Amino acid sequence: MPRYPLLGLPEFGTIAALDHYIVRKRGRFGDFVELRAKTREQIDALMPELEVLDELIESPAAVNGKLSLDDIRVLPLLRSAAVVKGLRFPQKVRNYFESMMSRIGYQPLPAA
């Protein structure tokens, strides 16, 4: 979330849209620069969770082996996490993420 303004997304095509996002999110989560400065510790905290997810993924085509609500919940979270430069998904998570992004016809967001 604190990286989205750095990605050149069309949602932030105007200064007003960008300012609105930053003010709204800063009020809830804190200063974006400070949040980005804590990237390494956040990655370190996330990695055990990604390792657990890696063990749970049954197929690159679906978390549970067949499409379910879990895929609707998991894929957007992975897409958001994938923007973090330096974050490396475990192999099954990476395969799932790439397979699903291809399946839905979207490219991952660039890392920032």
Identify the band that residue 41 occupies on the pLDDT scale cut at 50, 70 and 90: very high
Q: How many residues does the chain have?
A: 112
CB 86 within 8 A of CB 43: yes
What's the pTM? 0.86
7 Cβ contact partners less than 8 Å away, ≥ 6 residues apart: 83, 109, 110, 112
Q: What is the mean pLDDT of residues 69-97?
A: 96
Q: What is the mean pLDDT of the chain?
A: 94
